[in-house]
Structure 1
């Protein structure tokens, strides 16, 4: 007598002494065993294997398996050691039907957070899956301002990626906090500005609920972030509101003009200077003006622009007594030195603390002397430092896709 000939009661008794893998192998050998043991297999899976069948169904998009698991006691809110739930898996993988199925279960915790504090709504906004976003929003109560471990909200994630459809869906609820700050004090508007997402900026500004000058924990504003990245269209959009303080300083006393100068964004500089509100002589906590920052990074075009625009003191000194000329000569920026001397008429005898010690003028430094007498514009090699990264690439959801 084979297994298929045993009564149902005996088959279940045999299954009770077998592993889940063994039972799974058995049910695949014949229709009889499948019919007799399949439901028992799902029950055991729910009881002893953390509803792994439901997690697999959510991952692969199998509604049949998901339905069977749920009907046999599968835990819709099961969470793995890695912080993964069925709803998070289905959301990040874009399985709309699975999300709809899970949302329809009475036991579902729609706001349950998992991996790095992500809630399903945040993942839907991140991936710009508008269908899933609307399915989740149809559930009640869903936390529209749910924050992950970095304090980022669904609106913040949508804004930083320029997902305009997701933004509009979230804003349409009229229940989101448009200016909710994350752990770094950044707002959705700040993230959109720093990445140059012009449509996202316009959508957020249209709500008339955003504070365009809201400073992050470092005192940076959306305008400051846009300027440092050279996002000219973003700058134009923000300035058009006529509500921004063009010269608002951060914790280091730096202004948007200062950051644009440092990074060599000439078009951004032109836009800021055109407002007539940007102070070219604004000093940071180290006594450095925007001209200093342009010189420090060898931005010859920016230095030339400042000098030709007028209004800058080419011989100003920072808190340790350095001048733009002494900095340029010390760094070996010959082209910058030449511009400072020929266009700016910089004082060659101006001493900083370092040169005063050995009684040398800025001109005595060999790079400067070379620049003055070379009569050609050989550019000094500017320091190529990476731009400050104020957003980290969200690699964290990659684990859910592996």
Structure 2
């Protein structure tokens, strides 16, 4: 590490450590420190979000020329990071960033928008906030995956319902491996999520690039049996 790192990037260090008074003092002396990028191309605000330092975050967003869409080396904005916090802890920060005209549809270098991150962490309230801000549920990342693929893979039925209802997410989109959300739900053993997708019209006849139907990817006989019986009860015909 650069021996002068701590001195040069004092505001980043103070932010990570949650030193509110020191950050405030540094900004009062030189507000432009809020616009300084460290070797990871991160501003202090990126670290404030990553470490869930809300009081420091509030100081930084108030700085003149604050850019809510500043990206780090991975193309992550503060809003993306806030969407990735556990248990929807970033919701307050997301709402502040949106009030500062942050763009919820910006994509990381791997093509993910904030909804991809929120669905991966199972943050239902965050998903609702983002959809309310017109964050697209139809955006695909570099692997061809929608936020719905992520929700299906984690088995989050409430998030899947919101993405399909409020977000108007496509139901049968295949990713680069030819896997639909149904494939992901079944392969991860999320039987209830799979049944929801089937109930809403998921195409059970689609095959992935390896030629497999979703039902053939069930991790065990218990999951497979649950899906088959539920489909039979609801009059859903499976191939």
Partner of 2:192: 301
2:119, 2:202 → 1: CA distance? Answer: 20
Residues 162 and 200 of structure 1 are in contact (CA less than 8 Å); yes or no, is this contact kept in structure 2? Answer: no
Partner of 2:162: 271
Q: What is the TM-score when the length of structure 2 is the normalising length? A: 0.89
Equivalent position SS for 2:35: coil
Structure 2 residue 27 is matched with structure 1 residue 137: yes
1:321, 1:198 → 2: CA distance? Answer: 41
CA shift, 1:124, in A, is 2.1
Partner of 2:129: 237
Pick aligned residue for 2:213 from 317, 323, 331: 323
Equivalent position SS for 2:56: helix
Equivalent position SS for 1:249: coil
1:204, 1:232 → 2: CA distance? Answer: 18
CA-based RMSD: 1.8
CA shift, 1:83, in A, is 2.6
Equivalent position SS for 1:138: helix
Equivalent position SS for 2:136: coil
Structure 2: runs of 5 or more not aligned: none
Equivalent position SS for 1:233: helix
Aligned residues: 231
CA shift, 1:205, in A, is 1.1
Residues 291 and 306 of structure 1 are in contact (CA less than 8 Å); yes or no, is this contact kept in structure 2? Answer: yes
Partner of 2:228: 341
Structure 1: runs of 5 or more not aligned: 1-80, 89-111, 114-118, 348-402
Higher relative contact order, chain-length normalized (CA < 8 Å, sep 6+): 2
2:93, 2:17 → 1: CA distance? Answer: 15
Structure 2 residue 137 is matched with structure 1 residue 246: yes
Change (3 A) 1:285 1:82: closer
Residues 114 and 135 of structure 2 are in contact (CA less than 8 Å); yes or no, is this contact kept in structure 1? Answer: no
Partner of 1:199: 92
2:197, 2:84 → 1: CA distance? Answer: 24
2:24, 2:60 → 1: CA distance? Answer: 9
Partner of 1:218: 110
Partner of 1:52: none
CA shift, 1:82, in A, is 6.6
Partner of 1:151: 41
Tell me which stretches of 4 or more aligned residues in structure 1 moved more than 6 Å.
none
2:212, 2:28 → 1: CA distance? Answer: 62
Q: What is the TM-score when the length of structure 1 is the normalising length? A: 0.55
1:140, 1:306 → 2: CA distance? Answer: 54
Partner of 1:290: 181
CA shift, 1:276, in A, is 5.2
CA shift, 1:336, in A, is 2.6
